[in-house]
């Protein structure tokens, strides 16, 4: 197949949501088609196209695609089929295809390498054929499931298509499908490895640190001062400079709390009980409430594992650690060094929280 060109030979329109809804409800000159893709729970996918005849009757076409593809591929296939149908119809002026997938529309805007390249080239070829006949082509986003009749009919057609057997047997696996399966397998293996390693730790360590989904670093923690975030992760894994751990590795004769002289300086004690940090703890609890993180209760045996593992609690805990010396070296020189490391700004947490998942 000849590559049409790197950019789509037509208009790509992704308007703000309300404007997009208004545009979809208004009369659009020329031939208007609606395309959609669907994937069933058993992995079968299909594409659907809907349009109105000159007399106002609705028509639809269903394209079963089988397994080994993603909804992303089905959305692209639906757009391709809509443009190809337009080629075979009588000229009715400019051609507009409405789709509810911004990811698919963005993919159609170019034919560079990556998932969906073949379908993007196919769509560009069909659009160029229409332009060669003097017909303008527009791909336009419409928010899905908003009661827009054309979008609803295309959605229904796609679901019917997915439930039908693919003509010609099973096709090739798409790159989008392969990428997803690879990611799922890699994630599953990582989780199995982490679960196995955690199971080999002591019962106390397992209660403090719980495996969390995902392997990307929390952006809020990534933006925190290095001294604070270091103590944060040390508390999570049970290797902080606190009584129980220091006694375990032979750095201290007693595990008593260095701040309030309680018999045992544990993560639980420092976060929820130590009298030295009462005022800071009040602010911590207030911040946790605002972040909609449940506070520890008397009935909860080990709340530290839950709270340290909740992304919503990251920012409150980092602020708490920044206002205390929990987990920090008690020696004067090391303490000054840790304080200097922290000076470059918890303000960055605000920006990180707005940019990522905190």
* Same domain, yes or no: 23 and 167: yes
Going by the DSSP 8-state scheme, the letter that residue 136 receives in this structure is: -
* Same domain, yes or no: 91 and 210: no
Q: Residue 146 domain-assigned? A: yes
Beta-bridge mates of residue 7? 110
Beta-bridge mates of residue 141? 99
Place of tokens 């602020």: 319
327 φψ region: left (φ > 0), alpha (ψ -120 to 50), beta (else): left
Q: What string of pLDDT tens digits covers the 358 residues of the chain? A: 333 446 899 999 999 999 999 999 999 999 999 999 999 999 999 999 999 998 889 999 999 999 999 999 999 999 999 999 999 998 778 999 999 999 999 999 999 999 999 999 999 999 999 999 999 999 999 999 999 999 999 999 999 999 999 887 667 888 888 888 888 888 788 778 767 876 776 666 666 655 555 556 688 888 888 889 999 999 988 889 999 999 999 999 999 999 999 999 999 999 999 999 999 999 999 999 999 999 999 888 889 989 998 999 999 999 999 999 999 876 544 445 555 455 444 555 555 555 554 3
Core vs surface per residue 32-70: b (16+ CB within 10 A) or e: bbbbbbbbeeeebbbbbbbbbeeeeeeebbbbbbbebbb
Q: Give the CATH number, domain containing residue 138.
A: 3.30.420.10
Longest dimension (CA), the chain: 90
The helix or strand, by DSSP H or E, that contains position 175, with its residue range, turns out to be helix 175-199
Strand 95-99 to 58-66 pairing = unpaired
CA separation (Å) from 185 to 70, 118, 189?
A: 16, 25, 6
Contact indicator for 220, 229 with CB cutoff of 8 Å = no
The helix or strand, by DSSP H or E, that contains position 37, with its residue range, turns out to be strand 31-39
Q: Residue 158 domain-assigned? A: yes
Q: How far apart are CA 141 and CA 148, in angstroms?
A: 12
Question: Exposed (0-12), middle (13-18) or buried (19+): which is 90, by Cβ within 10 Å?
Answer: exposed
Q: Residue 67 domain-assigned? A: yes
Q: How far apart are CA 326 and CA 236, in angstroms?
A: 13
Q: Is 238 helix (H, G, I), strand (E, B) or coil?
A: coil
Q: How high is the pLDDT of residue 332?
A: 42
Q: How high is the pLDDT of residue 226?
A: 86
* Same domain, yes or no: 166 and 77: yes
Going by the DSSP 8-state scheme, the letter that residue 134 receives in this structure is: T
Q: How far apart are CA 176 and CA 104, in angstroms?
A: 12
* Same domain, yes or no: 79 and 145: yes
Count the domains in the chain: 2
Beta-bridge mates of residue 110? 7
Q: Which of 125, 152, 171 is the last residue in one of the domains?
A: 171
Q: Residue 184 domain-assigned? A: no
Q: Residue 351 domain-assigned? A: yes
Question: How many CB atoms within 10 Å of residue 179?
Answer: 13
* Same domain, yes or no: 162 and 210: no
Overall pTM > 0.75: no
Q: Residue 182 domain-assigned? A: no
Q: Is 182 helix (H, G, I), strand (E, B) or coil?
A: helix
Full residue range of the structural domain in which residue 258 is found: 203-355
Q: Residue 330 domain-assigned? A: yes
* Same domain, yes or no: 317 and 239: yes
Q: How high is the pLDDT of residue 210?
A: 59
Q: Residue 331 domain-assigned? A: yes
Contact indicator for 139, 103 with CB cutoff of 8 Å = no
* Same domain, yes or no: 159 and 248: no
Q: How high is the pLDDT of residue 38?
A: 96
| Helix 71-88 vs helix 117-132: crossing angle, to nearest 10 | 20
* Same domain, yes or no: 157 and 292: no
- Of 12, 4, 5, the C-alpha closest to 108 is 12
Q: How far apart are CA 358 and CA 350, in angstroms?
A: 10
Q: How high is the pLDDT of residue 269?
A: 95
Residue 325 CA from chain centroid, whole number: 35
Q: Which of 171, 188, 220 is the last residue in one of the domains?
A: 171
* Same domain, yes or no: 57 and 112: yes
Residue 25 CB partners (closer than 8 Å, separation 6+): 148
* Same domain, yes or no: 163 and 282: no
């Amino acid at each position: 197949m000849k590559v049409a060109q790197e950019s789509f030979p037509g208009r790509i329109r992704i308007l703000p949501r309300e404007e997009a809804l208004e545009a979809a409800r208004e009369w659009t000159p020329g031939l208007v088609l609606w395309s959609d893709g669907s994937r069933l729970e058993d992995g079968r996918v299909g594409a659907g196209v809907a349009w109105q005849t000159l007399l106002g009757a609705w028509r639809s076409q269903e394209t079963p695609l089988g397994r080994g593809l993603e909804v992303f591929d089905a959305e692209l296939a639906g757009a391709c089929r809509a443009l190809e149908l337009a080629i075979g119809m009588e000229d009715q002026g400019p051609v507009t295809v409405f789709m509810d997938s911004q990811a698919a529309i963005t993919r159609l805007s170019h034919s560079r390498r990556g998932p969906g390249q073949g379908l993007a080239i196919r769509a560009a070829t069909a659009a160029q054929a229409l332009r060669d006949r003097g017909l303008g082509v527009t791909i336009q986003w419409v928010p899905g499931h908003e009661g827009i009749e054309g979008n609803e009919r295309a959605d229904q057609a796609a679901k019917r298509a997915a439930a039908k057997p693919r003509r010609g047997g099973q096709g090739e696996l798409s790159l989008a499908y392969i990428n997803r399966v690879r990611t799922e397998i890699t994630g599953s293996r990582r989780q199995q490895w982490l679960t196995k390693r955690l199971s080999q730790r002591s019962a106390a360590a397992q209660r403090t640190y719980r495996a969390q989904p995902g392997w990307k670093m929390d952006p809020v923690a990534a933006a925190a001062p290095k001294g604070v975030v270091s103590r944060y992760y040390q508390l999570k894994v049970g290797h902080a400079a606190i009584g129980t751990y220091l006694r375990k590795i032979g750095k201290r004769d007693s595990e008593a709390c260095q701040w309030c002289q309680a018999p045992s300086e544990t993560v639980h004690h420092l976060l929820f009980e130590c009298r030295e940090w009462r005022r800071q703890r009040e602010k911590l609890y207030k911040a946790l409430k605002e972040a909609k993180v449940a506070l520890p209760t008397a009935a909860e045996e080990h709340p530290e594992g839950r709270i340290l593992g909740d992304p919503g609690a990251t920012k409150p805990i980092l602020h708490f650690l920044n206002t205390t010396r929990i987990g920090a070296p008690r020696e004067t020189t090391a303490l000054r060094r840790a304080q200097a490391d922290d000076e470059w700004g918890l303000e960055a947490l605000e920006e990180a929280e707005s940019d990522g998942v905190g």
